[in-house]
Structure 1
C-alpha cells in the first residue's frame, strides 16, 4: 500500500495516497470528516480526461496514521508538501474541498507556488468560518462550541446527523443522494480518529485565512452551491472571490455542501474545463 512517511514532526506520520493516470498532476484534498473516498465521482473523470490524479487521506482520517498532536493547518500543509516532494511533482493543480481549501491556501502561504500551476476551492471554508464583528455572516461561536461538545460526548451520534446537513437531506422529499450514501459517509467518518476529528474541527473553525488570500497567486477556481447550509456562500466563496485576484467563480444553483456527490456532473464539467484551460 502506498504511504509517505513524514518524520519532521514529534511523531512520524504515515500518509496514505492513491495515484492514478498520467499527465499533469491533480491533487485532491478531502473535506472534514471524510477521506479520499469522497472524491469517488471526480477521480475517474480526471483520469479519463488525461490527467494524473492523486488523492490522499488527511492525517487522522482514512488509512493514514493518527498522531496525537499537530492538526493545525501548517502541519496539514506540510503533509501536502511532502507528497509533492516525494512524488517529484511539478506544475501541479491542488484542489481542496471544504476544510481542504485551508490546505490549499496555507500551502501557498508556507511554500509558495513554484510547483503549483492552478488551485481550486470546492465548497470551501475559505476564508473564515467563525462569526466576528467584521464577519457577521459567519457561524456563531456558541454553535461551534456546541459541535465540539457533541463530538466529545457523542461523536458518532453527531456524525450520523451531520451527513444529512451535508446534502440538505430531507427524508420526506426526493433527494439527489441515497440513504446508502449517508451510511457510507457515516462509516468513513466514524472510523476516523476521535482526536483528529476534534482537533481538525478546531482548525477549520478558528483559522482566519483572510490575510493569506493574497498568497493565492495562481489561477484559482471557486465553486460553491447557493444552497450550502453547512458552509454558507456569503462567508466563504463570495468573500474568497472578492479577494483572490485571478479567479473563476462558479455558483451551482440549488447545490448543497456535498455537491461533489449531488451535483457530480455539474462539478466535473466545471472542474475539467478549468483544468484544461
Structure 2
C-alpha cells in the first residue's frame, strides 16, 4: 500500500496510476480517493499520471485527533507533491477538496502547478455572514454536526441520497449509494465532524485572488449540498483565468451521474493547457 508521511508525521494513503503529466485529485466530504476511480482510470488510459489520496482522518489514512484545518490540508498536499517530486501538475478538487487545492496555491504558489480544476467546490466562502449574505446559515452546519453525533450511520445514508440527487429523481444505482455509505463510514467521527467546521467556516476569498493558473470550474445546476449560486458562480468571477460550466440537472455528485461528460471536459482542459 502506497503511503507518505506529512510534516506532523501522519501517514496518508495515495494511489498513483499511469504515466505522463500528473493530475492530482483531492476528494470531497465524507468520501476518500476511491470516489475518483473512474476519472483516474480514464486519465491514466489517456496518457496522464493520475494521483489521488485519502485525506487525513478518512479512508485508509491515519486518523489523528488534530489537523483538520485548511492550512494543514494544504501542507499535506505539499508533502505528497514533495514525496513524489511532482512538477507541472494539474490540481483537481471536489467540494471540500476544492478548498485545499486552492489553499495550496495561496500558501505555496504555482511554481509546480500548470492548471486547476474546481468541481462543485466550497470556495470562495460557504457560510452566511454580514459580508457574505448569500451564504448558508450556520444553523445548517450545526444541524449536520448534531446529526453525525446522534446517529452518523442514518445521517450518512440520507445524505448520500441528496448527494447524488436520488431524492429528486436522479438515476443512480444502489451500488453507488452503498459504496458511498461504506466509504463515509470508514472515516473517523472526529474527522467527519471537524471537517464540517473547516469547510463551512473557512474564507477562501483571499485565496481566489492568488490563483494565477488556468482554471476550469464545473458544477451541477441542481446541487443540493453546495449550491451553485453561492459557490462556483462567485468563484468564477474572482479567479483571473477561469472558465465556468454547469451540468444540466447535475447533483452534487455529478462525478458519478455525469461521469462521461466530466471525463471529456477534464481531458479537453488538460489538452488545452499542456
TM-score range, shorter chain: over 0.9
1:245 and 2:243 are equivalent in the alignment: no
Partner of 1:223: 218
Partner of 1:210: 205
SS at match of 1:215: coil
**Among residues 51, 65, 77, which one is paired with 2:48 in the alignment?**
51
1:91 and 2:88 are equivalent in the alignment: yes
**How many residue pairs get matched?**
272
Shift of 1:253: 1.0
Q: Partners in 2 of 1:162 and 1:22 — Cα distance?
A: 36
* Pairwise CA RMSD: 1.1
TM-score (norm 2): 0.97
- For structure 2, list consecutive stretches of 5 or more residues without a partner in the other structure: none
Q: Partners in 1 of 2:139 and 2:133 — Cα distance?
A: 14
Q: Partners in 1 of 2:155 and 2:11 — Cα distance?
A: 27
Shift of 1:127: 0.8
Q: Report if the CA contact (8 A) 2:220-2:252 is conserved.
A: yes
1:19 and 2:13 are equivalent in the alignment: no
Partner of 1:179: 174
Q: Partners in 1 of 2:46 and 2:216 — Cα distance?
A: 18
TM-score (norm 1): 0.96
- For structure 1, list consecutive stretches of 5 or more residues without a partner in the other structure: none
1:120 and 2:95 are equivalent in the alignment: no
1:166 and 2:163 are equivalent in the alignment: yes
Shift of 1:92: 0.5
Mapping 1:130-149, distance limit 5 Å: 130-149=127-146
Shift of 1:132: 1.8
CA offsets 1:10-39 (integer angstroms, 9 cap, x no match): xx2101011111110000100000000001
Q: Report if the CA contact (8 A) 1:15-1:58 is conserved.
A: yes
Partner of 2:103: 106
SS at match of 2:141: helix
Q: Partners in 2 of 1:170 and 1:194 — Cα distance?
A: 25
